[in-house]
Amino acid sequence: MEKNKGGFTTELMKNTLLAMDDNANNHANKRFRKMVICIETCYSGSVFAFDGDVDIDGVLVFTAASPYETSLADVYSVDLKVWISNRFTRNLTDSLNKEESICYADLYKYLVQNTIGSHVQLINAQCFGNLYEMTFKDDIFKSN
């Protein structure tokens, strides 16, 4: 792969996921069963703003913000003198710590309702499966 000097771009994300999903019709070559990606950065929705319709089977993406807005800092380290996390990540970890078997639909609803000031995005849900039946715990700890 050619070295990218521009950081992690939308095109790089698209190409990476498509390469991992290479020959999706031939499941023997697929490099993942399910993948959940959570991105907390400002403008995080832009990482998945693919041109055209790019659907990647088995990938679900949560972003802290839309492509057009910053995400809001929330956790400050006095020792390090730096913001170390934002509200999206705090809400994500709080929710999973309270109920690790929460379904993805309820997790998304919780994040939207509690991440005040940012517009949490759920991307590629149409290619992931039933968000009311599948849970974070099931996908992370399920054996093949």
For every one of its 144 residues, what pLDDT tens digit does the chain have, with 9 covering 90 and above?
455 566 667 777 777 777 776 655 555 566 677 889 898 888 888 887 765 566 788 889 999 998 888 888 888 899 999 888 889 999 999 998 998 889 999 999 999 999 988 899 998 898 888 999 988 776 655 555
Helix (H) or strand (E) holding 17: helix 10-20
- Region for 117 from its dihedrals, namely left if φ exceeds 0, alpha if ψ lies in -120 to 50, beta otherwise: left
Sign of CA dihedral 12, 13, 14, 18: positive
Instruction: Using CA atoms of 88, 93, 98, 101 in order, give the dihedral in degrees to the nearest 10.
Output: 100
| pTM of the predicted model as reported, rounded to 2 decimal places | 0.79
CA–CA separation, 72 and 65 (whole Å): 9
Which residues have C-beta within 8 Å of that of residue 111, sequence separation ≥ 6? 62, 88, 91, 92, 95, 120
Helical H segments across 52-142, by residue range: 87-98, 104-114, 136-141
Percent of the chain with pLDDT over 90: 28
